[in-house]
Structure 1
Amino acid sequence: MFIEPKRGRGQGQKTGWIEVVCGSMFSGKTEELIRRLNRAKIAKQQVEIFKPSIDVRYHDIDIVSHNQTSIRSTPVNASDEILLMTSDCEVVGIDEAQFFDAGIVEVANKLAENGKRVIIAGLDMDSKGVPFGPMPALMAIAEYVTKVHAICVVCGDIAHYSYRKVPNEQQVMLGESDTYEARCRKCFIAG
């Protein structure tokens, strides 16, 4: 269970930090991101939320989890756009971080250095089981990392791999349950 940290009471400047929620497809990453952002809103904190503009699976603007929980966001084409839209907020949410350019790491650091709570969700591995995009670097700089798990659709064990069911060699291929399924290590390797 993730316990939300309390803000430090330093000398004027608020303490910022980075939280990363990672895991496979269907593990609840976006659902957890939305839960944390909604709690920040309940606490009357100013929240800004972003997603990569290429992710239009469920909605052009909203971030939507696989179980249809949603929250309004701002789609962006490049990570540096986020810095232009976060000056007045306290909490920044970023979904599908694996699709962002490498600059997302510097953006997250700058936001945290400016006293913001940065909550990032994304796939830690691609469909080949290889670390995905900027996620390893984001996990390395984060104060808090939460790895969530799905259930293997083959055997029912804990799953942390995203198995691609259709032939396609591209690393980035948007899809849902028709394209991907969660698998444990054994079932992922068995193919």
Structure 2
Amino acid sequence: MFIEPKRQKGKDTKNGWIEVISGSMFSGKTEELIRRLKRAKIAKLNVEIFKPQIDTRYDENDIVSHNQNVIRSTPVNTSEEILLYTGASDVVGIDEAQFFDMGIVDVCNKLANSGKRVIVAGLDMDSNGKPFGAMPHLMAISEYLTKVHAICVDCGDIAHFSHRKVENDKLVMLGETDIYEALCRKCFYEKASS
């Protein structure tokens, strides 16, 4: 269970940090991101939330988990745009980080270095089982890393692979259970080799 770090009161400057929530599809990454951001709002912190403009699966603006938990966000085309909207924020949330350009790593570092708590969620691997976009870099520079798991739809074991059920060579293909399923290592490699 993730225990939220406490800010030290009475200092002129705030320490910032980066938290990364990673895992496969259907593992609860967005649910955990929303939970942390809502708690920050309860604490009366100034929260800004972002998602990539291309992610319109549930809503064009809101971040929505598979469980239909919702939080308002600002869709952006590039990682650099995030810096335009975060001036007075204490906490910055970023969903689907794997879809952003590699500049997201520098953006998160700049935000944390300026005293902000940065919470990032994203897929750690693509549907081929390879590290996805900037996520490995974000995981490496984060102070806090949470890896969440789904349940394998074939055998019921712990799953951390996002298997694409349809033939398509595109790296980015938005979809839900109609296109993807969560699989454990054994089931993923059995289906990949068949």
TM-score band (shorter)? over 0.9
The RMSD of aligned alpha carbons is 0.8
Q: Structure 1: which amino acid aligns with 2:48? A: E
Report the residue type matching 1:142 in the other structure. S
CA distance in 2, matches of 1:151, 1:10: 44
Equivalent residue runs for 1:141-156 within 5 Å = 141-156=141-156
Q: 1:36 aligns to what SS in structure 2? A: helix
- The one-letter amino acid paired with 1:75 is P
Alignment of 1:49-64 (within 5 A): 49-64=49-64
Give the drift of 1:11: 4.3
TM-aligned CA deviation for residue 7 of structure 1: 1.1
CA-CA distance at 1:12 after TM superposition: 1.1
Residue 9 (structure 1) shift? 4.7
Mapping of residues 128-167 of structure 1, within 5 Å: 128-167=128-167
Q: Provide the identity percentage.
A: 74
Q: Distance in 2 between matches of 1:166 and 1:155?
A: 20
* Equivalent-residue separation in structure 2 for 1:22 and 1:8 (angstroms): 27
Question: Paired residue for 1:46?
Answer: 46
Matches of 1:45 and 1:11 in 2, distance apart?
A: 16
Question: Which structure 2 residues correspond to residues 59-78 of structure 1 after superposition, within 5 A?
Answer: 59-78=59-78
Q: Distance in 1 between matches of 2:178 and 2:11?
A: 52
- After superposition, residues 1-191 of structure 1 pair within 5 angstroms as 1-9=1-9, 11-191=11-191
TM-fit CA distance, 1:88: 0.6
State the 1:134 CA deviation. 0.2
Runs of 4+ with >4 A deviation: none
Match of 1:118, SS? strand
CA 1:134–1:10 in structure 2 vs 1: closer, same or farther (change >3 Å)? farther
Deviation of 1:8 (Å):
3.2
SS state at 1:182 partner: strand
Aligned-pair CA distance for 1:10: 7.4
* AA in 2 matched with 1:131: P
* Whole-angstrom CA distance in 1 between matches of 2:107 and 2:10: 23
SS in 1 for 2:145: strand
In the alignment, the residues of structure 2 paired with residue 143 and residue 110 of structure 1 have an alpha-carbon distance, to the nearest angstrom, of 14
Q: Deviation digits for residues 100-146 of structure 1, max 9, x if unmatched?
A: 00000000000000000000000000000000000000000000000
Are the structure 2 counterparts of residues 80 and 151 from structure 1 closer, same or farther at C-alpha, using a change threshold of 3 Å?
same
